[in-house]
Structure 1
Amino acid sequence: MENKHIIPLFLRSGKHIPNNPDLPLMLYKQVFTDQKNLENKFKASFAEHNWRGTWTNGVFDYHHYHSTAHEVLGVAAGSATIQFGGPEGEKLEVKAGDMVILPAGTGHCRIKASRHFTVVGAYPAGQEKYDICTEEDDAEAKKRQIAQVPLPATDPIEGANGPLLQYWQAKNSRSSFILG
């Protein structure tokens, strides 16, 4: 990763969106400073570090989360405001070159986006068959599934020694990162 500006954010559980009680959302700012071929760069890095089920599209414009998988979103083009954590959550601006890693249970919803906003998404190996949960799902029941999702073996950009694993294994420092 060319720039190591990483922001960990814990999000409080909402009324209908559980978020993750143990793991922070990880916002990596400007993973690739060279903006050429970002889609291919994200796809190649995700594949190299065993993040699978890669897709290219946008982010849904309704609050949703995954209770069976962690997810990475690499912003390949444009910019957007995405609300993380559900209707009570945090609105963050992301732009081409940024990346967000969502622990299982983290709500996300596109609020607004530029015309060509595009993300590359993927999931840790073995978690490619993710579910899509909404505010209509039983958040308490989903929390049990979220607790069973294993940590990824690698950071989607830096592999086995990447910052994701360091942050997600340091669960005891959570109080300094809580937002929402």
Structure 2
Amino acid sequence: MESLDADGWASLFNAARESACHLEMRDHYAVEEEKSDIEKWRAGKWGPEQDAASKAGWLKLMRDTAARGVRLRRLRIISEPVTEYIRFEHEGTPQNIAAGEDVRWLPRRHASGLALPGNDCWVIDGRTVLFNHFTGEGGWVGNELSSDPEVARICADAFESAWKIGVPHAEYILT
């Protein structure tokens, strides 16, 4: 297993020509780089400006990728009522949208009939899959890159099935 650094992420997205789709399926992430952000958010010391500054590198990568005509979509499958982490994520989503991502939410109860991959993943141009691995507590473990055509097809089909029934961010009301 590997872990992409900033250059690795940039290479992945710079190689995208048509689409980059992110399937997120966890209700809680506990990645180190967000811990202080979440504490500030809990304390009421967090808003759009702080969120945008915290993920400035990511947002720039998304803006640059979208500017090349790559369609960026993110789908979050979530349990309801939502976790505190999902509330934090939902509040920061407008920055992702402003950077060029289209974001939808899918309540887990509506995903029961879908065949989904075992891990969160990015599907690039329907041909490359980057799996994101986490511990049971939500900590970051690493990435796994696959260019296996069957794996890419399975993940791309799963994303499209979920996307069709996902709720656009502007219409999703937290419960």
Q: TM-score range by the shorter chain?
A: under 0.3
Which protein is richer in helix relative to its size? Answer: 2
Which protein is richer in strand relative to its size? Answer: 1
TM-score for both structures, normalised by structure 2? 0.25
TM-score for both structures, normalised by structure 1? 0.25
